[in-house]
Amino acid sequence: MLTPLKFQSLFKYRIWGGNKLKTVLNKDYNGDSIGESWEISDVPNDETIVEDGSFKGYTLKQLIQEFKGEFLGESVYKQFGEAFPLLIKFIDAKTPLSIQVHPNNEYAKTHHNSFGKNEMWYIMQADEEANIIVGFEKEIDKTQFKEHLEDKTLLEVMHHENVKKGDAFYIPTGRIHAIGAGVMLAEIQQTSDVTYRVYDYDRVDKTTGKTRELHTEQATEVLDFNVEERYKTDYQKETNTSNTLIHSPYFKTNFLPVKGELVKDYSNTDSFVIYMCVSGQAIIQHQQKDYNLNAGETILLPASIKEVMLKSEDAQILEVYF
């Protein structure tokens, strides 16, 4: 019988990484400049492994191969087969990420045999005056974009937005973006590791002694130059309710604050469900067994699990499914 599953986190060195994943989220790792904790991954050569229980040591792929629609949901399995559609991360940016963009499904399939990379951010902690870059501040075209790159004035036409805990942003493919210094967040995205960097502050990576590769030609082909009136997502925060946060064709995420006891019924949900705890701590009860979920932890409910009880004094959870 499938049970709620925790996976071993994969820790990624990043030139811009810090130490908040350890000091704030209590992640256990060695090394400096750890920028990402991959919580649930089916990226080739980076598959996460079940942490404990009767399926300890199983990779995500092995679970899908053995249980198929029982694990993924029949409709999800029909659409994706043995490919898990989502990549779940926590990110800590000590310094800014590169200015970057991701391709859509069609472009990524043609050029990388990969999914595209639509994603969302939920801000878990931000230093004072910390910001993100998302989208353009004013209309420009491809020619002007290249001119800004050449004279290193690209930042002047980007939309900068100060952020605080609880802010959320949807980053569709084609939208230029970067996480700023001092921001820690939860990221939910399609299973893809394709990123086109367009500007990286001329930084030298201490592990290679070189600057990182840029991908300006590919980026220019996939960029969406439209300017939006508003980039931040507004949402409700009603306690013990799955408040719609970001629902896209690529994933659905709800904001779920829990106080006391809450029974969640998934009998009409033909999908796995992922809980990311972004604040506080909770207990997930299934078949008379308790599973602890602390801030910075993630747990996956296979699609065959149709009811759980959540218990918490005060927790905030991102509820993710397909």
Residue 230 among the catalytic residues = no
Find how far residue 97's CA is from the centre of its chain.
15
- Token output for 169: 């942003």
What sign does the dihedral 33-154-228-217 (CA atoms) show? Answer: negative
Q: Give the amino acid at 111.
A: H
Residue pair 125/173 in contact (Cβ under 8 Å)? The answer is no
Residue pair 24/296 in contact (Cβ under 8 Å)? The answer is yes
Residue pair 102/192 in contact (Cβ under 8 Å)? The answer is yes
- Choose, from 175, 197, 203, 230, the residue flagged as catalytic: 197
- Show the DSSP H helices in 6-141 as ranges: 20-23, 60-67, 69-72, 74-80, 105-112
Nearest residue to 86 via CA among 134, 48, 141: 48
Residue pair 104/116 in contact (Cβ under 8 Å)? The answer is yes
Pairwise CA distance, residues 307 & 268, whole Å: 11
Active site residues: 197
